[in-house]
Structure 1
C-alpha cells in the first residue's frame, strides 16, 4: 500500500515508524511531516486543513490509505472528503469526531447513553454571569473546560473558587482558547488516577491496544498548567483485566452503539481518557485520534502489520482481527521548550539526537523540530522531542529514556523527572 500520514508532530513520527515496519506498506508519505519523518517517508507540503487539496493530492498520487493523525482535519471533515473520492481513510467522520471536537456534545452524549462521567453543566459564552453563579453554587475543587479544540490545554483544574472564576474569565472574556471557548463545560472534580485506553474500531467491531498513562501537567507531581502531554508509559499496570472488561461494557460498547444509532458510526481510533475513581472507571474525555505522547509508547509494543489493520478498519473489515502486543514496556519523556505551554522561544540548535538514537532500545521522536538552512536541527515548537525507551520492565524503559534524554541538549530544555511515578 501507498500510505499518506497526515500531521507534523510526535504522534505522526511514531505512526510513520510503526507503518514503516509493516510488510503491507510499500511507500510512505507524510504531510507535512517533520525532520524525523523524512528518514522513512517522503514529506509533502500540503495544507492539511484544506480537505479538497489533500483529497486531490491523494487521488493524483494513487494513495491506498490515508492515516489522519491530528484532530483538526478530522473535525474539518477530511475523512468524509476522502471517502467521496473512494480513498480509504483511518479516522472518524466529522459527525463522529464531535466526540472530541465538542466537549459539550460529548458530555450530552454520555449522559444520554449512560456512559459514566463527571456531573456537569454547559454554558454558552454569553452566559458568563450564569456560569459564575453556578461556580459559586458547586464550589471547588472543580474543572472548567473550553468545549472546543484547544490542543489539550483547554481543561483547567481549579482547587479554589478564585482559580475557577479566573479560568472562566480566561475562557470567555479573555478568549485564551479562541472559538474553542464559545461554550464552557463546568464539571465536578474527580478523584483517582488517570489512564488512557485506545480502541481501534470499524464502527461495529473493536480491538484494544495496550493501556497507557499520560502526564498532562507541566510540573512534577502533576503541578502547573495542563500541556499536550509531558510523558507517557505503557502498559499501565493499574488498568487490570477486570477494569478493562468494565471499560468495554460500560464505556466503549455503549459509545459505539450510541454513535451508530445516531447515524454517525464511529470508525478509527477511539481514545478513552479515563479516571479510575473509587466507584469505577469514568470518562474524562474522548479523543478521536491516537493520543500524543501515548502513541509513542503504545505503537512500538504492537506485534501486528499495522498498515493492514488500519486499512481493514477503514474498510469496515475489523471482524476477527487480533491485535497482539509484546510483553515489553515503553516509556516516553517529552523534552519541551522553556516557558511551554504559555510563552516560549524557538530556533535553538539541538545537539545529541544521533547519539541518543544510537543507544540501545531508544528512539528519539521529533515533535516540534525544524531544519536550518545549514542543515542543523532546531527547536520549532513547545514540545520539541519525545525520547522513548524500551525494556523488559517499566523501570528499565524509564532508565533508558532518561539516559537518552540527558544526552540531548538545547537552550531551555524542560522535562519532568517523574514520568511513571504512579506505577513505580
Structure 2
C-alpha cells in the first residue's frame, strides 16, 4: 500500500519508521517530513502545505491511506474533507478533534459523562478571571482553551504569577486567539501519566503507559515545553491504576463519543494524574504524543500499520497488541534558547550511536543534517531494566554534537 503521512516532527519520524517496517507498506510519502524521514527506507518527503494539496496529492498518487500526525489539521477538519472525497484517512472527525482543540469543550464533555477530572471554572472575560484568582486556592492551573503547541498550561503558585499568565493569554494574546478564553483548574498532587489508545469508534485498546517530562530543566523546573523526554512503561501505572483508568476514564470516554456521535477512528491520548484518591483525567489529545510516540512505538512488536488498518475497517475487537518486554527511555535534545527564541542553522554531528535517533527539528542539506527547530532530535534506547535503557540513551547522546545543544539529564 501507498501511505501519505502528514507532519514534520519527531512523532512523524517515529510513525514513518514504524509503518515502513510493515510488509503491507510499499511507500510512505511524508508531508513535509524532516531530515529523519528523508533518510528512512520506503520514505519520501513531499512539499505540501494544506488540506487541498493533501487531497490533490492523495488522488493523483493513488494513496491508499493517509495518517495524520499533528493535531492542527485534525482540528481544521482534514478527516471530514478526505471522507467527502472518498479517501481513507486515520484520525478523528472535526467534531471529535475538539476534545483537544478546545479545553473548554473537553472539560464539559468530561462533566457530561461523569469522567473523573479536577474541578474547574471557565472564563471568557479577563476581569472575571482576575476576580476569581484573587480568592482561589493556590497552586492553580491555568489552561489556554485552544491549541498552544504544548505551552498553554501553566501551574501558578501565587496571585501575581496567575495575573501575569492571564494577561499574557487573554490580553497580550500570545497564542493568537487560543488563550482568549481559559480554564482555571484545581491543582492535584500526584504523578502524571500518558496513556495512549487506539479506537475504531466501537472498540478501544490502550497502549503501554508512558511518563513525559514537560519542563525544560532538570527536576521539573522552568517553563513547559512540548516534552523533553519519556520513559515507558510508566512505573506508577500498576494494575490497580490501570483498572481505575479504564473504568472511570477510558470506557466512559468511548461511550460519550458514541452517544454524541462524534465519529472517532484514531488515537486518543489520555493525560492523567495518579493521586491518593484515584486517577483523574487532565486532558485529551487526539493523536500520538510527541515524544511519547518515540518511546512507545519502538516497544510495539505488533505491525502498527496493520493495527491502523484494522481500526479504519472497524475490526479492532479482539485485537491483542504485542509488546516487547522491558523499558524504553527517550531523551530529547533541543536548541539553545528553547522553548523561547532558539538558535538554528547548526550542523549536527552524529558518531557511532547504538540506538535509534528520531529527528524532529532538522533538515537534510548538502549531505548534512542542519538544525531548524526547537526540539532537534531524540534518542530512544530499550533495555530489560529502566536504568539500563536510560544508561544506553545517555551514552548515545554523548556521541551527538551541535552548537548550543541542550538536554535534560534526569529523564
Indicate the TM-score class for this superposition, using the shorter chain for normalisation: over 0.9
Using the alignment, how far apart are the partners of 1:176 and 1:253 within structure 2? 36
Q: Does structure 1 retain, via aligned residues, the 8 Å contact 2:22–2:303? A: yes
Pairs within 5 Å for 1:40-119? 40=40, 41-47=43-49, 50-119=50-119
* 1:173 aligned residue: 171
CA contact (8 A) 1:139 1:161 kept: no
Alignment gaps of 5+ in structure 2: none
The answer to whether 1:408 aligns with 2:405 is no
Alignment match, 2:140: 142
Q: Which residue of 2 aligns with 1:12?
A: 12
Determine the C-alpha separation between the residues in 1 that align with 2:74 and 2:315: 21
Mapped contact 1:208–1:323 kept (Cα < 8 A): no
Distance (whole Å) between structure 1 residues aligned to residue 299 and residue 137 of structure 2: 43
**1:314 match:** 312
C-alpha distance in structure 1 between counterparts of 2:324 and 2:359, whole Å? 24
1:355 paired residue number: 352
Question: Which of these residues, 378, 383, 386, is aligned with residue 370 of structure 2?
Answer: 378
What secondary structure sits across from 1:330 in the alignment? strand
C-alpha distance in 2 between matches for 1:315 and 1:75? 22
Task: Report how far residue 149 of structure 1 moved.
Answer: 0.3
CA displacement at 1:223 relative to structure 2: 0.6
Question: Does 1:152 pair with 2:150?
Answer: yes
Question: In structure 1, how many angstroms separate the alpha carbons of the residues matched to 2:364 and 2:35?
Answer: 7
For 2:84 and 2:273, locate their aligned partners in 1 and report how far apart those are by CA, in whole Å: 38
CA distance in 2, matches of 1:173, 1:28: 43
The answer (yes or no) to whether the contact 1:89–1:311 under 8 Å persists in 2 is no
The one of 389, 392, 400 aligned to 2:384: 392
Q: Which sections of structure 1, spanning at least 5 residues, go unmatched? A: 420-424
Q: Which runs of 4+ in 1 moved over 6 A?
A: none
**TM-score (norm: length of structure 1):** 0.95
Alpha-carbon distance in 2 for matches of 1:203, 1:343: 40
Q: 1:375, CA displacement in angstroms?
A: 2.5
Any conservation in 2 of the 1:200–1:270 contact (CA below 8 Å)? yes
Residues 169-188 of structure 1 show CA distances to partners (whole Å, capped at 9, x for unaligned) of: 11011111111112111111
1:367 corresponds to which residue? Answer: 360
Provide the rounded CA distance (Å) in 2 between the counterparts of 1:89 and 1:240. Answer: 34
Q: TM-score, normalised by structure 2?
A: 0.98
Query: Once the 2 structures are TM-superposed, how far is the Cα of residue 371 of structure 1 from its aligned partner?
Result: 2.8
Q: CA deviation at 1:76?
A: 0.7
Q: Quick check: 1:88–1:315 contact (8 Å CA) kept in 2?
A: no
**1:251 maps onto 2:249 in alignment:** yes
Alpha-carbon deviation of 1:20? 1.4
Matches within 5 A, 1:267-306: 267-306=265-304
Q: Per-residue displacement from partner, 1:200-234 (whole Å, max 9, x unpaired)? A: 00011011111001000001111100000000011
**Could you say what secondary structure the match of 1:351 adopts?**
strand
CA distance in 2, matches of 1:414, 1:112: 43
Tell me, yes or no, if the aligned pair for 2:229 and 2:332 is still in contact at 8 Å.
yes
Kept after mapping to 2: 8 A contact 1:32/1:43: yes
How far apart are the structure 2 equivalents of 1:304 and 1:26? 18
In 1, the alpha carbon distance for the partners of 2:60 and 2:24 equals 21
Number of aligned residue pairs: give it.
409
1:422 equivalent in structure 2: none
SS at match of 1:251: helix
SS at 2:403's partner residue?
coil
CA distance in 2, matches of 1:247, 1:284: 12
Counterparts in 2 of 1:27-42, with a 5 A limit?
27-40=27-40, 41-42=43-44
Residues in 1 aligned to 2:385 and 2:90: alpha-carbon distance in whole angstroms: 32
Q: CA RMSD in A?
A: 1.1
More displaced 10-residue stretch of structure 1: 209-218 or 305-314 = 305-314
Q: How far apart are 1:329 and its partner, in Å?
A: 1.3
SS class of match (1:179): coil
**Pair 1:129-2:127 in alignment:** yes
Separation in 2 of the partners of 1:267 and 1:242? 28
